[in-house]
Amino acid sequence: MAGRLPVPKLAPGAAAKLVSRRAEPDTQRALGFPGDLVDGWEDVAVAAMRNVVAERGALRLFLDSCMKCGACTDKCHYFIGTGDPKNMPVARQDLFRDVYRRYHTLSGRLVPWLVGAKRLTPEMLEDWYAYFHQCSQCRRCAVYCPVGIDTAEFAMAAREVMDRIGIGQHYTNEVTEKAIRLGNNLGLPGPALADTLAGLEEDILDDTGAAVRLPLDEPGVEVLLVTPSADFFAEPHVDGLIGYAKVFHQAGLRWTLSSHASEAANFALFTGNREHMSALARRIVEAARGLGASRIVIGECGHAWRVAHNHLEALAGPLDFLARGRVEHVVEVTDELIRAGALVLDPAANDHRRVTYHDSCNIARASRLGDIPGGQFIVPRRVLRAVCNHYVEMARGTTREATFCCGAGGGLLADDLMELRTKGAAPRMEAFRAADVTHLAAMCAICKSQLARVFPDYGFDREQVVSVHPLVGDAVRLRAAP
């Protein structure tokens, strides 16, 4: 298949040392856990396995339907990058499957040696922690599995079991705790947000002469924008926030950001802790109701959109106050405004760029955009083509439903996982190189952070990674303030 790297030579155990840092005891306690494993952890884990399988009908089916055909073997970016056989999707599945058989099947209890059933020993738990935190839940393997087995379901179930017994990954648990306590992953208080937004307003005025506002906590608006907190200050994200503001300004939309819900991301998705997921989701709905907003628009973040699109109502209560009956993605909004002729655009503003698009996994394979089949693939490209005269597709088999992960999804954007992240990015880097373009546009905060970090390792510049909305913002023709 075009754009794919060759299957690596096997390197057993090569990735065993690429283990993410565990959550500190203080962080665990702040989230309601003991600092270490809970008492009777094996019994708790066994019960949790039974419950998660019972609740996930697809997982119950996946446990019994694998034919060991190998179709998934070379589809995982982490296996391609590390060569470790335990990073094969089927091997990760078996880490869960073998333990489940031992406790929850008759054959596993009576003749475990005959069916490969294994106890959840401390040593097995180490493998669980290592390799289920080397799955970004990207679902590429499921696209190629002849019976549709989704390894992400195994990874999510295993992490939920580990969460129940008090094992947490440092990065995901730390940002989850900050977001629950303060409203965003970075721990930014309201005054800091206000100062940042005021500074961005000044920057836009200096650059364009237009008085574009970035309002915070303004009641009685139509749109509540909830965006990743990285958009407030970090490159290449902040230009995306400026792009949103330009679009809303020119279209005349009444909108605001919220200090109560200043984070679109929900990292509790990657631990499986539903109480924490709900706490973060409720902040968004509370903010919208409190400000009287009739629309909730989610900024450019893949898993934030996955949670909002698929789970927000289940986590945070009815969305009957929304005029459109559902949350919206900011790219949907921009696409709609472009097609309605509400934006004045000059795509020549981006003529110094040859742009390709990275389909983020959580949008491409775990959600959708708009009300049309395949909208998650169509809508972003329609926007990019409207604002860029030089748009180029990457090779078939590396985009759309077959897109390669950036290498840091699934809550793996941790500094201590840089070696894994760099190796996992290799297939995407190869596809980008083959496209012969100057810029890679991504519509996910994690993808943008990861790609900008690993680009130099592959001979590219960080500045070659862009969000979609900076390209839109550059093309928007604003009228200077009188």
* Separation CA 162–CA 271 (nearest Å): 8
The answer to whether residue 19 is domain-embedded is no
**Is 86 part of a structural domain of the chain?**
yes
Query: Angle CA(381)–CA(309)–CA(412) in degrees, nearest 5?
Result: 80
> Alpha-carbon distance 210 to 378, whole Å?
31
Task: Identify the pLDDT of residue 3.
Answer: 41
Q: Does one domain contain both 183 and 160?
A: no
| DSSP helix/strand/coil, 301 | coil
Say how far apart CA 305 and CA 220 lie, in whole Å: 24
Going by C-alpha positions, the residue among 147, 127, 140 that lies closest to residue 77 is: 140
- Positive or negative, the Cα torsion across 432, 155, 262, 195? negative
Q: Check whether residue 153 and residue 273 sit in a common domain.
A: no
Q: Could you tell me the two tokens for 455?
A: 């680009």
Give phi and psi for 295, each to the nearest 5: -140, 140
Q: Are residues 116 and 206 in the same domain?
A: no
Tell me: do 433 and 452 sit in the same domain: yes
Residue 20 lies in a domain: no
- Residue 286 within any structural domain of the chain: yes
Say if residue 263 is in the same domain as residue 394. yes
Please, are residues 224 and 244 in contact by the beta-carbon 8 Å criterion?
no
User: How far apart (Å, rounded) are the C-alpha atoms in residues 193 and 223?
Assistant: 18
Of the chain, the end-to-end C-alpha distance in Å amounts to 56
Which domain-ending residue is among 130, 146, 168?
A: 168
Out of 168, 186, 211, pick the residue that ends a domain.
Answer: 168
Does residue 464 share a domain with residue 368?
yes
What's the pLDDT score for residue 346?
Answer: 96
Cβ partners under 8 Å of residue 42, min gap 6: 119, 120
Domain tally, the chain: 2
- pLDDT value of residue 8: 67
47 within a domain of the structure (yes/no): yes
What is the residue-wise DSSP string for 305-353? HHHHHHHHHHHH---TTSTTSS-EEHHHHHHHHHHTT-S-B-GGGGTT-
- What's the token pair of residue 387? 């604002």
The answer to whether residues 196 and 131 belong to one domain is no
**Radius of gyration of the chain from its Cα atoms, rounded to whole angstroms:** 22
Closest by Cα among 466, 361, 465 to 408: 361
The C-alpha atoms of residue 377 and residue 372 are separated, in whole angstroms, by 10
295 and 420 fall within a common domain: yes
Residue 481 lies in a domain: no
DSSP run (H or E) holding 303? helix 302-316
Say what the pLDDT of residue 354 is. 97
Q: 362 and 470 share a domain?
A: yes
DSSP-assigned beta bridge partners for residue 433: none
Are 136 and 221 part of one and the same domain? no
CA distance 335 to 381: 10
Task: Please check whether residues 101 and 119 belong to one and the same domain.
Answer: yes
- Which residue matches tokens 């950001």? 257
What SS3 state is found at 134?
coil
The torsion region of residue 405 among left (phi > 0), alpha (psi -120 to 50) and beta comes to: beta
257 φ, ψ (degrees, to nearest 5): -95, 170
Other C-beta atoms lying within 10 Å of the C-beta of residue 469: 30
pTM of the full predicted structure?
0.92
- Domain with 301, as residue range(s), is 178-475
Does residue 148 sit in the same domain as residue 246? Answer: no
| Range list of β-strands (E), 123-222 | none
Residue at a domain's end among 114, 142, 168: 168
CATH number at residue 70: 1.10.1060
d(CA 195, CA 172): 27
Alpha-helical runs (H) found in 18-76: 25-30, 41-55, 57-65
pLDDT tens over the chain, length 482 residues: 344 455 667 888 888 888 888 888 888 888 888 878 899 999 999 999 999 999 988 999 999 989 898 898 889 999 988 999 999 999 999 999 999 999 999 999 999 999 899 999 999 999 999 999 999 999 999 999 999 999 999 999 999 999 999 999 999 999 999 999 988 888 888 899 999 999 999 999 999 999 999 999 999 999 999 999 889 877 777 889 999 999 999 999 999 999 999 999 999 999 999 999 999 999 999 999 999 999 999 999 999 999 999 999 999 999 999 998 999 999 999 999 999 999 999 999 999 999 999 999 999 999 999 888 999 999 999 999 999 999 999 999 999 999 999 999 999 999 999 999 999 999 999 999 999 999 999 999 999 999 999 999 999 999 999 999 999 999 999 876 65
Under DSSP, the state recorded for 38 is: P
Contact 129, 95 (CB under 8 A): no
Cα angle 159, 163, 167; round to 5 = 100
Q: Residue 350 domain-assigned?
A: yes
- Residue 439 and residue 452: Cα distance in Å, rounded? 11
17 within domain boundaries: no
